[in-house]
Amino acid sequence: MDSSRKKGYQMGERHHRSRLTDHEVELVRVLREEGLSFSLLAAKFEVSKSCVVGICHYRRRACTLYAP
pLDDT tens string, the chain, 68 residues long: the values are 555 445 556 566 665 556 788 889 999 999 999 999 999 999 999 999 999 999 999 887 665 444 44
The model's pTM: 0.70
| Distance from C-alpha of 54 to C-alpha of 51, rounded to nearest angstrom | 5
What's the pLDDT score for residue 41? 97
Taking the C-alpha atoms of residue 15 and residue 7, their distance in angstroms, rounded to an integer, is 14
Q: How many CB atoms are closer than 10 A to CB 44? A: 14
The distance from CA 6 to its chain's CA centroid, rounded to whole angstroms, is: 21
Amino acid residing at 2: D
**Inter-residue contact 4 to 13 (CB < 8 Å):** no
